[in-house]
């Protein structure tokens, strides 16, 4: 470990965030993992996140916060289910047992509790515990980041914004990673439609840290949601060298870039990004963010009339092993898009039936609770649309429009379902649905004026009159 840049036991104590270990090496590794999590990048000089996790367990096998961090990161990655993954389940159990036998600080005990709640899918309670930590320790970055991710998975947009707003004044410029607060706050602002302020705050962050990929991503969202397509393309291209290094977010930023091309009707350019970046990256990373982006991009292109069948079939090999996960509804819906796109009806039905089963006895699991009223009918709508039963797809999706936010993700990511509803309405045999489709396009135009994609939809709606 580089002795200079990461914090040892004494440095953490000085910040009022003491860690229960006597190993300076373990403290520095904890800092190194946290730093990589915040920067969305594996830093090779310290062995990346995986290397640091191996090293921290060797430095002090009984360091509870080391386990909270490593197991917590795996959980918020949503790539594996506690129901199906015995190794992950025992890692949670071991951390809880270890904490019970040690003399920890109150803050550390709360971290263990929050991680355990999150592992059982109780995202709302887990977030409450992280917020409790932040009341007394506003600079506890792990609590802030875990809460941020948790809110994201619940579509809790206002909470995501306010969680960061509450602690901002305590972050002083000299504190490690303080400049990354800007990007985090900006994201909460844009998800609550404060677009001008979101852009301003993100740009302030980029002045401090030009390679803050999350702040770049926040600006990309602003231009997407306000249909400033050319501005977005120029921005992503101009900053590419900066954000490309953040391997955990690069694919997602390329996805945003591709959305601008779809918006402009430049489908070949979007496919080029899919082939050269998204598909390659999601195959090697196995990251859920990368996988759902790839699924979503193909679905958007298909709605625009582009043939992507072969690409769906290739992507199916990546999504198929996750058919039974059911960690988040957002992931499930994207796996379903791919299995339907690849005409893999067996996997599609199995995914839906598995979700229906879990929705019967959701327990404390937030996602399974939301599955009954929202997740299952959304999955059914995708299947009806795929079967060309457009009227049924509209009847399932339309009543859920204002509740879809609960499946998690961002406005930009969930827009694929709003587009699907419009396409279903315009393709429906029902005149009433066609008129509804036109109403939805008019509403879309009001929210983001001068959108080329909306103009294309408007032309289709008018042609039906």
Segment 102-160, tens digit of pLDDT: 999 999 999 999 999 999 999 999 999 999 999 999 999 999 999 999 999 999 999 99
Closest CA to 216 of 178, 184, 192, 194: 184
Task: Assign domain 179-244 to its CATH architecture.
Answer: Alpha Horseshoe (1.25)
If pLDDT is split at 50, 70 and 90, which confidence band does 2 have?
low
If pLDDT is split at 50, 70 and 90, which confidence band does 80 have?
confident
Q: Which two tokens stand for residue 91?
A: 């890692």
Helical ranges in 169-287 per DSSP H: 180-191, 195-208, 213-225, 229-243, 250-264, 267-273, 279-285
**What's the CA gap between 228 and 220, in Å, rounded?**
10
Quick one: what percent of the chain has pLDDT higher than 90?
97
Q: Which residue has the tokens 């900066």?
A: 242
The mean pLDDT of 349-365, rounded to a whole number, is 97
**Share in percent of the chain as helix, strand, coil (round to 5):** 75, 0, 25
pTM (2 decimals)? Answer: 0.96
- Range of lowest pLDDT (84-88, 203-207, 336-340, 349-353): 84-88
Examine the pLDDT at 176 and tell me if it is beyond 80. yes
**What's the CA gap between 262 and 250, in Å, rounded?**
19
Q: In sequence order, which residues have a C-beta less than 8 Å from that of residue 315 and are 6 or more positions away?
A: 279, 282, 291, 294, 295, 298, 338, 341, 342
If pLDDT is split at 50, 70 and 90, which confidence band does 78 have?
confident
Examine the pLDDT at 56 and tell me if it is beyond 90. yes
Examine the pLDDT at 180 and tell me if it is beyond 70. yes
Measured CA distances, 321 to 76, 202, 301, 409 (Å):
18, 37, 24, 22
Angle between helices 329-341 and 376-386 (to 10 degrees): 10
If pLDDT is split at 50, 70 and 90, which confidence band does 295 have?
very high
**Tens-digit pLDDT profile for residues 377-398:** 999 999 999 999 999 999 999 9
Q: What is the tally of helices (H) and strands (E) in the chain? A: 26, 0
Q: Which two tokens stand for residue 37?
A: 């999590």
- CA R_g for the chain: 22
């Amino acid at each position: 470990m580089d002795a200079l840049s990461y914090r040892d036991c004494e440095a953490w104590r000085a910040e009022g965030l003491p860690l229960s270990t006597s190993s300076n090496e373990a403290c520095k590794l904890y800092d190194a993992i946290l730093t990589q999590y915040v920067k969305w990048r594996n830093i090779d000089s310290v062995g990346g996140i995986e290397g640091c996790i191996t090293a921290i367990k060797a430095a002090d096998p009984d360091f509870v916060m080391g386990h909270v961090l490593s197991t917590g990161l795996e959980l918020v990655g949503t790539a594996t289910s506690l129901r199906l993954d015995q190794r992950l389940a025992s890692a949670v159990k071991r951390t809880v047992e270890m904490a019970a036998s040690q003399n920890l600080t109150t803050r550390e005990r709360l971290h263990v509790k929050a991680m355990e709640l999150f592992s059982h899918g109780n995202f709302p309670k887990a977030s409450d515990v992280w917020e409790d930590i932040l009341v007394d320790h506003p600079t506890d970055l792990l609590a802030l980041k875990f809460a941020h991710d948790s809110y994201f998975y619940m579509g809790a947009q206002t909470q995501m914004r306010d969680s960061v707003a509450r602690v901002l004044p305590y972050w002083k410029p000299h504190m490690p990673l303080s400049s990354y607060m800007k990007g985090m706050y900006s994201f909460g602002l844009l998800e609550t439609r404060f677009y001008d302020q979101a852009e301003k705050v993100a740009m302030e962050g980029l002045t401090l840290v030009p390679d803050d990929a999350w702040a770049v991503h926040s600006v990309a969202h602003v231009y997407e949601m306000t249909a400033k397509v050319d501005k977005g393309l120029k921005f992503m291209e101009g900053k590419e060298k900066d954000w490309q290094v953040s391997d955990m977010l690069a694919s997602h930023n390329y996805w945003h870039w591709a959305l601008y091309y779809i918006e402009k009707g430049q489908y070949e350019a979007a496919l080029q990004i899919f082939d050269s970046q998204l598909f390659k990256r999601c195959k090697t990373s196995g990251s859920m963010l990368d996988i759902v982006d790839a699924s979503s991009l193909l679905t958007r292109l298909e709605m625009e009339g582009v043939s992507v069948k072969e690409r769906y079939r290739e992507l199916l090999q990546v999504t198929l092993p996750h058919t039974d996960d059911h960690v988040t509804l957002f992931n499930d819906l994207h796996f379903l898009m791919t299995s339907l796109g690849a005409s893999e009806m067996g996997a599609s039905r199995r995914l839906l039936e598995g979700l229906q089963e879990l929705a019967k006895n959701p327990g404390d699991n937030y996602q399974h609770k939301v599955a009954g009223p929202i997740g299952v009918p959304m999955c059914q709508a995708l299947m009806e649309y795929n079967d060309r039963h457009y009227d049924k797809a509209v009847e399932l999706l339309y009543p859920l429009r204002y509740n879809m936010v609960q499946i998690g993700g961002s406005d930009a990511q969930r827009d694929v379902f709003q587009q699907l509803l419009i396409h279903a309405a315009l393709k429906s045999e029902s005149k009433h649905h066609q008129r509804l489709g036109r109403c939805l396009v008019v509403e879309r135009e009001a929210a983001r004026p001068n959108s080329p994609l909306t103009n294309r939809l408007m032309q289709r709606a008018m042609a039906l009159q």
